Structure 1
C-alpha cells in the first residue's frame, strides 16, 4: 500500500513497515457516529436555522428545505462518506484514486477547510470570553455601571414603550455595548486594524491548545474526545429546551417560529436560503466526511449511517428552534416589544440576544454558563475534526514522511501555530470585519456550490454513478435506492447550478451589519481567498494533462481513469480491507 502511494506521490518507498505508523481505524462504530455528528451539528443549527425558518414562512420553509435536503444534502453526504470508506483515503487521495484529473478538488476542499479553521476558531474565543465572564456576582452585560459603557447606555430588563419614547435617539443596550465595546472593542472599519485584544488572544490560544490535544494522536484521540464534545451539547440543548418551554410567552415565540406563510414560497430568496443552509450545516464539500468515512471498516453500513446522521442533523436544527424561540417569546413578552425586534441570526443571536435573555431569567449566571458551554463544545467539535481532516489528507499523500515517528504531532503543531498567529488579526479591533469576509467568500455561497457541482459530475458522469453504486453494494451487500444515482447524475448538479446562477444574478457587494461598506481592496482579498482554493482544480487538471501522453482526448481519457485498482472483496475479508492498489471487479 505504502509503495503504491509513494509511486503516486513520486516519493521514494518506505524502508521498512516498522518505520511508518499504521493509518488506524475507529475504535468503535460509536466513535465514527459521534465524530460525524460533531462535524455536521454546529453553530449553524443553533444560530441560523431557527431564524431562517421564522424569516422565510415558518412551517412553509420546510418545503424548500426538504427538497434541497433530498436532492443535494443526503446524496452528497452519502457520496463523501462512501467514497472515504471505499478508498480508505482522506480528502485528497480519494479523488486521485477514482479520477486523477480532478485531484484538485481534494486540495481545494482542504484549503477551504484550513481557511475555515483559522477564521471560525475566533468564535470559540468570543464564547470563552462570555463563559468566564459568567462566573461573577452580576453578569457584566446586565448593567451600565462599567468602564466600557457610554453615556447613552440603557438596561433593557424593564423595557417598555414609555422608556422607549423618553430614551435618547442613539441609546444602546448594555448587552450591545458589552459585545461591541468590551469584547470586540470594534474599530470604525477594516482599514482601522487597531490593537490586538489580549484577553481574546489568550482565549484564542486556549481554543487552539484544546483542538491540538484532541487531534494529536489521530483517530485514537479524536474518537475519544467526541464522547464528551459531541454528546454534552445535546444534553445542554435539552436543558435549554425544557427551560424555554416552561417560560411565560414561550408559545408566542413558537408561533412566530413555525406559523406557516405559504405566500413566502414565491420569493426566490426563500429557496436560496434553504439551499445555502443545507450546505452550511451538513459540512459537505469540505473533505471532513470523506476523512471520517475513511477510518471505517470496509463493510460498515455507511448508507444507513448517512441517513441517520442526516436525520439527526435536521432534527437537531428543528428542536433548537424551540429552545431559541421559546426564550425569545419570553423576552418579547417581558420587554413589551414585537418578537421581530429581538429575533436575529448569526453572532447577534449568540452574543447579543441570548445574553440579554438570560438576564431576565432567575439565576442568570447558571443559564449563561450552560448556553456558552454548549456553544463552545459545538464549535470545538467542528474545529478539531477539520484539523483531523487536514492532517489525514496530508499523511495519506506523504505517508512515509508524516506518519514516521512524531512528525505528525510536529506538523500538527506547526499548523496550529500558524493558525494562531494568523488568527491574531481576527482578535484585533477590526477582527469582526475580517471574519465576515472569510465567512462570505470562503466558507459558504458560490465556493461550496461549485465544489458540489464538480463532485456530483465526477462521480455521476466520469467515474460513473452505476459503478459507484456497485462499489457501495460491494461494501454493504445491497445497492442504495436508485434516487441517489439520479441525484448524482441530474438532480444535484442542476439544482446547484441554478442556485449558483441565481446567486450571481442577485449579487450585492458585501456589507457589515447592512451599513458598513468595505473598501475596494477588501473585496479583492475576499475574491482572492475564494479563488485560491478553486484555482487548484484547473491548475492540477492542466498539470495532469501536460504529463500524460497522446493527443488531448487520449490524455483526458487516461487522466480520468482511476489511478489505482481496488481489490475484489469477499464478506470474509471485508473487515480486514485496506485498499492497496488491487482492482474491484466493478472497475
Structure 2
C-alpha cells in the first residue's frame, strides 16, 4: 500500500492511521489574528511592567541590567514562551486536557495551574480595585491626595510643597520656583536662604495618607491578627472589576477579543502621553540618565542575574496556562513562531517605555525635593499608588493626568485578569465539553467565587492579605510547575516529536537552538530559579509590620496545596489504572488520545 502523499511523513516516512474520534463541538477560533496578539500582549504586559521593572532595572545597574535581562530572555523566557504557544496551537485544548495528549501522569500539573490561577485571582483584582477607587477620586478640581485638610489626614500630614520647603533648608543657596508645583503653596518663588524653620525629616505625605488612611483605611487594623470588617467602598470597586471581567469573558474569545482592542492598546497611548509630559518636567533628564546609566560592576553580583531571570519569566508569563489557552483558538497553520518573537519583543519594549515614563517623573520628584532618586523610588505598589500620583497631582491639569494614569492601570490589570481566568475556563470546559453550552453560567459562578474569596482583601487589613498572597500564591509554586511542564514536553513527549508537531503546523521544524533550549537550558533555568526562590524567600512585609509565624505557615501551605496536586493525581491515577506495574506506567506515560483535528487526517503518531 502506497502512503497518501498528502500526509506528512513521520518517523522516517512511517504513518500511523488512527481511528476517527467521537464528534465534539467544533472549537471556535479568533475572529482576527490581531485579537489573539492583543490578548497575548495584554496578558504579558501588566502592572509589573510599570512599577517592578523600572525599579529592578535601576537597582541592578541601570543600562547594564539590560545585558542579563536580554540573555535571560533569549535562553530562558522566549523558548518557554514559544513552547507554550506552539503546544496550545497544536493540541487545541486547555491546561487539563492537554496532558492526555502528552503524558497522562502529569495531569496534576494542569490542576496545579488552575489552583495557582485561582489564588492569583483572589488578590490581583483587588489591586485593580484600588486603581478604580483612585480613578473615581480623580474627578475633582484637585486630587484629594494633594492636600492635608481632609478628614482622614493626621496632624503629621505634609503636602508636597511643604516637603519641598523642608528640603530647601538643606540647600540654602538654591532658589525654587513654586509655580512648577501647580499652586500647591501660596508662595510662588522661594529663596531657600530666607527659610528659618526646624528641619524635621519625619513626615507623613498627603499621598501616603490618602492611600493608607482613605483608600485602605488600614488605621482600623493592627495586622492579620485583626483585619477588621469589609470596607464596603472597596468591595464595590472589586465587584465592578469582576463585572467588567464577566462581560469580557462570558462569550469566550468573541467577547474578550473585542475588549482587548481597548484594554491592550490604550495603555500604550497613555504611556507615550505620560512620557512626553514627563520629559518636560524639571529634573526629568536626570531621572532618565539615572535609569539608563550603566553600572557594569553590578553584573559581578549573582543577585542581578537572579532578578533578571525572575523578571523576564514573570513578565512573559509562561506556565500560567494562559498562553496555552489563548493559542488553542488559533488556526492550525498560524505562524506561532513569529507571534512568540513579536509579542515577547513588545513586552520587553513596553517595560523600557514604562521605565522612561516612570523615571522622568521620579527625576522630577527628586529634583523638586532636593533628594536622590533612591530616596523617592519605591520597590512596591507604593510607586504607582503614592509616588506617581503625587507627582502628577503637582503639574497643570492634574485631574486629567490622574484620570488617564489610573485608567491605564485599570486596563493593564484587566488584561492580565482576562488571561488568568480564561486559562481556568478553557481548561475546565475542554475537560468537560458538555459545559460549553453553559459557559455563561459557569463564568458567573467563577466570578462569584473569586469575588467572595477576595473579600478578605477588601477589609481594613486587606493590604496585609494582599502582600501574603503576592509572596506565596504563585511566585514559588509556578516555577516548579513550569519546570515539570518543560520536562514532560522535552523529555517524555520528546523534543523530536514536539518539533515534528511544529513542522506539521509551520512547514518547517524549529531550529537546533530552540531544541537545545527546550531540552537543556530552559529546564536548568527553571530549576535554578525555583531553588533560589525557596532559598532566598523573604517573608511578606508592609511598612514596619512583622508577619506572625502562623501567617507564614499559611503561606507555605498555599504553596504546597498547589504543588501537592501533582503527586496526589499521580497516585490516584496509578491506583485506578489496571494491569501490572509496567503496564500501568506505560499507560500513564504514553498519550491516551489524539487531537481531533489531527486524527481525522490520520497523521498523528507518538514516539
TM-score when normalising by structure 1: 0.91
SS of 1:284's equivalent?
coil
CA contact (8 A) 1:279 1:448 kept: no
Corresponding residue for residue 180 of structure 1: 212
Equivalences for 1:158-557 in 2 at 5 Å?
158=162, 159-160=164-165, 161-162=167-168, 166=198, 168=200, 170-186=202-218, 187-400=221-434, 402-404=435-437, 407-444=438-475, 446-508=476-538, 510-513=539-542, 515-557=544-586
**2-side partners of 1:183 and 1:163: how far apart?**
32
Shift in CA distance, 408/330, structure 1 to aligned 2, threshold 3 Å: same
SS at match of 2:160: coil
Secondary structure of residue in 2 paired with 1:45: helix
Separation (CA, whole Å) in 2 of partners of 1:233 and 1:372: 10
- Aligned equivalent of 2:591: 562
CA distance in 2, matches of 1:339, 1:562: 55
- 74, 81, 87: which is aligned to 2:78? 74
State the distance in 1 between where 2:339 and 2:317 align.
16
**Alpha-carbon contact 1:441-1:526 (below 8 Å) kept:** yes
Moved more, 291-300 or 192-201: 192-201
Contact kept, 8 Å, 1:103 with 1:540, in 2: the verdict is yes
Determine helix, strand or coil for the equivalent of 1:149.
coil
Q: Which residue of 1 aligns with 2:604?
A: 584
Contact 1:470 1:586 in 2 (8 A): no
Shift of 1:469: 0.8
1:131 and 2:135 are equivalent in the alignment: yes
Distance across 2 between alignment mates of 1:163 and 1:198: 43
Of 384-393 and 410-419, more deviation after overlay is shown by 384-393
Aligned length in residues: 557
User: d(CA) in 2 for partners of 1:231 and 1:153?
Assistant: 38
What are the superposed Cα offsets for residues 491-532 of structure 1, whole Å, 9 maximum, x if unpaired? 011122222223333344x13136322112211211121111
- Secondary structure of 1:523's counterpart equals helix
Whether contact under 8 Å (1:157, 1:359) holds in the other structure is no
Change (3 A) 1:189 1:172: same
Cα distance in 1 for residues equivalent to 2:419 and 2:442: 16
Q: 1:39-91: per-residue Cα shift (whole Å, max 9, x none)?
A: 11111111111110000011111122112211221111111111111011011
Per-residue deviation, 1:538: 0.9
RMSD: 1.9
- Give the match's secondary structure for 2:161: coil
Q: Distance in 2 between matches of 1:203 and 1:163?
A: 42
For 1:556 and 1:534, the matched residues in 2 are separated by 21
| 1:99–1:562 CA contact under 8 A, matched in 2 | yes
The CA distance in 1 between the partners of 2:308 and 2:564, in whole Å, is 27
Distance 1:504 1:403, change over 3 A: closer
Aligned in 2, Cα 1:202/1:413: closer, same or farther, shift over 3 Å?
same
Question: Cα deviations across residues 214-239 of structure 1 (Å, max 9, x unaligned)?
Answer: 00011110111111111111111111
Where does the alignment leave 5 or more consecutive residues of structure 2 unmatched?
1-20, 171-196
Stretches of structure 1 that go unaligned for 5 or more consecutive residues are 1-12, 568-576
Distance (whole Å) between structure 2 residues aligned to residue 490 and residue 264 of structure 1 = 27
User: What is the CA deviation profile of residues 340-359 of structure 1, one whole-angstrom value per residue up to 9, with x for unaligned ones?
Assistant: 11111331111001011112
Deviation at 1:483, TM superposition (A): 1.3
Q: Tell me what 2:188 maps to.
A: none
CA contact (8 A) 2:92 2:595 kept: no
